[in-house]
Structure formats: structure tokens, C-alpha cells
């Protein structure tokens, strides 16, 4: 059978047998711990521990302090926990834990132990924090809900907290489980897209919440889920990433001059692409350069000084890996 050991920030899996002759039923590792163990490294950097813990706590604040007191149903296991709390008076965190354990088994079966463990860690922390905060606040929140405007405030701030929290957990390499696992399984065996299946499941949960807590609560839930999704995108694509801009510069006669100044003044490199104008049918050189956001103004000034008639296309680059930016190996190692 398999035995799991948490050691120095990683799970290690060993082949072992259980001896029933000993009164303590101790576990013996029979194939050699160092020779035959398989390392299941979950965290590449210490900051990922911080992302995981802080993210789970912030998301729990969104659920226990804003969503549940405001009768707002989120998606996934959080929404299921909210419904069970109001219908059966069962602790929301406990329901989330049970749901995610079931989904953990499904995730391991279809996607392997690494995926399942990461989902279990994130979802377990979230469930524990929800129960802890709920026991402190009695799921009454911090707002006065006799003023209906505060329900809207709960949808807004709950969505922000939930989105930021989930985003941080995802940046740690873990996830918060939930119906995402079921959606991925269905997508694996059907032509349906992940977004469509996830939307369907969350829509069903929100609709059930509306049936239990009223139409108004369902509408506020939709607002909260939209804000949450935007906050997740902000964290994943903005916070802590190497935001940069990609520029395509088409200059009639000054491409080399611009490229030289980019190297000399900005200490950046680039690539000269060769194209053909579809109207003039003339061959053109296209300078492709990526610069950090803080250098965008400087490179714009350089282009203008060398060729005020240049054509420039600027597009966002949410993450840039390689020479001069974040190490490609470091990012790749996060998944190992």
C-alpha cells in the first residue's frame, strides 16, 4: 500500500506494509525511503505558503462575513454551504469540507494525486477559516441588514474578498476545489467547454439559493459572482506578475535607429520581423519589443524622436518569461 509523509514542504509517497504482529501496528517502509520514494513537491517558493494561507483567510472573510449574513449564494461548495446553513442549520464550513472531500476523491481518480492534494489543501483551509470566522461572528456579519443597501455592500465587498482570496490561493499553485473539479471531469468526456459547464453548475446553485432565500438574494448573488470573477482575474493577471507591454513598431526608414536606442538606453532587446504592406506591396521591417510598464513612456519618446510618422501597436503582456524578465525555469518549477 502507499504511505504519505509531509517533509520539508513536500509530500513523499512510499511503498509500505503494515505489520499486525506489533501491538502498535507500526508501519514499515519496505522498499527503501530514498531509493524508491516519489517526491510530490507542492510549493516551489516560500511566498506560495503565504499566498495559500492569506488567500484562504481572505476568501473565508468574504463567505462568512459578507455572503452568508447577507443571504448571498456564491458558486461552488461555498454556495452549497450557504444553502445548507439556512435550510438545515448546519455549519457552512463543515458542509464545504464534506463536499470538497467528495470532490477530492473524484479529482484524484481522474487527474492524479498531485491535483487532488492541491485541491484538498486549499479547500480544507478555506473550510476551516469559514467555520472559525463563522463561530466568532455567529454568521451575523458586521453590517446592519435592516438597511437593504448593506446587502449590496455585502455583494460588493464579499465578491472582492472572495475573488482576491481565490486568486491568491491559485497563485500558490493550489485551488479551492468546488464544482471546478466536476466541470473538468465533464469536459474531459464531453465536447462541452469548461466555462459553459462551470457556468451551468454555478447557475444551478445560485438558482437553488434564490429558491431558498428569495429572488433579491439571487440577483445580489449574480452581482457578487461577477465582482469575484473580476477580482480573481486582477490577482492572477496583475498582482505580483511582471506586467509589461509588447510593441510592434513599423517605421519607413528608422527601424535600425530605434532598435539601437532601445538597446542602448533601455537595455532591452527585440526582434526585427519582415512583412509586406498589403496596400503598397512594399517590404517593411517590423520591430517587436517587450518593455516593462515603467519604460513605456521612454520607448514612446524614443520612437517619436526618431520617426514621428511611425506606426506603433501597443498590447498588454500579462506575464513575460525569459531573458530580462522572470525566469522561465522558476515558473516552470512551480508545477513540478
Q: pLDDT digit string (tens) for 203-239?
A: 999 999 999 989 998 999 999 999 998 898 888 776 6
H or E segment and range at residue 136: helix 113-137
Provide the grid cell at 186: 465533464
Output the pLDDT for position 11. Answer: 46
Domain locations in the chain as residue ranges: 2-41, 46-237, 244-317
Asked if 76 and 202 touch (Cβ cutoff 8 Å), the reply is yes
Query: Which CATH number is correct for 244-317, 3.30.70.120, 3.30.70.20, 1.50.10.20, 1.10.3720.10?
Result: 3.30.70.120
218 half-sphere exposure, CB direction, 13 A CA radius: 14
Output the pLDDT for position 135. Answer: 95
Beta strands in the chain (DSSP E): 2-7, 10-18, 27-29, 38-41, 244-250, 270-276, 283-292, 311-317
CA distance 121 to 329: 25
pTM comes to 0.70
Asked if 128 and 92 touch (Cβ cutoff 8 Å), the reply is no
Output the pLDDT for position 24. Answer: 43
Which parts of the chain register pLDDT below 70?
1-44, 195, 238-242, 324-326, 330-336
Place of cell 454555478: 202
Amino acid at each position: 500500500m502507499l504511505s504519505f509523509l509531509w517533509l520539508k514542504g513536500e509530500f513523499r509517497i512510499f511503498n509500505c506494509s503494515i505489520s499486525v504482529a506489533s501491538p502498535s501496528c507500526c508501519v514499515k517502509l519496505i522498499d527503501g525511503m530514498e531509493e524508491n520514494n516519489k517526491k510530490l513537491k507542492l510549493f516551489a517558493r516560500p511566498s506560495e505558503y503565504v499566498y495559500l494561507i492569506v488567500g484562504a483567510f481572505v476568501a473565508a472573510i468574504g463567505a462568512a462575513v459578507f455572503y452568508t449574513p447577507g443571504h448571498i449564494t456564491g458558486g461552488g461548495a461555498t454556495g452549497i454551504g450557504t444553502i445548507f446553513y439556512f435550510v438545515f442549520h448546519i455549519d457552512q464550513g463543515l458542509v464545504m469540507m464534506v463536499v470538497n472531500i467528495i470532490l477530492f476523491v473524484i479529482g484524484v481518480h481522474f487527474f492524479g494525486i498531485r491535483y487532488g492534494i492541491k485541491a484538498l489543501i486549499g479547500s480544507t483551509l478555506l473550510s476551516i477559516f469559514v467555520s472559525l470566522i463563522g463561530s466568532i461572528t455567529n454568521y451575523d456579519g458586521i453590517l446592519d441588514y435592516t438597511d437593504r443597501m448593506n446587502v449590496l455592500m455585502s455583494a460588493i465587498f464579499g465578491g472582492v474578498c472572495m475573488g482576491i482570496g481565490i486568486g491568491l490561493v491559485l497563485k500558490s499553485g493550489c485551488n479551492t476545489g468546488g464544482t471546478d473539479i466536476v466541470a473538468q471531469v465533464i469536459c474531459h468526456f464531453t465536447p462541452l467547454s469548461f466555462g459553459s459547464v462551470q457556468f451551468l453548475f454555478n447557475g444551478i446553485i445560485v438558482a437553488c439559493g434564490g429558491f431558498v432565500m428569495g429572488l433579491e438574494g439571487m440577483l445580489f448573488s449574480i452581482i457578487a459572482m461577477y465582482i469575484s470573477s473580476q477580482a480573481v482575474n486582477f490577482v492572477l493577471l496583475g498582482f505580483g506578475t511582471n506586467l509589461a507591454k509588447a510593441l510592434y513598431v513599423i517605421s519607413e526608414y528608422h527601424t535600425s535607429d530605434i532598435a539601437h536606442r532601445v538597446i542602448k538606453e533601455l537595455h532591452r532587446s527585440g526582434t526585427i520581423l519582415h512583412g509586406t504592406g498589403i496596400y503598397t506591396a512594399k517590404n517593411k521591417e517590423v520591430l517587436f519589443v517587450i518593455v516593462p510598464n515603467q519604460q513605456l513612456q521612454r520607448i514612446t519618446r524614443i520612437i517619436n524622436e526618431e520617426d514621428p510618422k511611425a506606426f506603433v501597436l501597443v498590447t498588454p503582456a500579462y506575464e513575460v518569461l525569459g531573458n530580462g524578465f522572470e525566469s522561465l525555469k522558476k515558473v516552470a518549477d512551480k508545477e513540478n
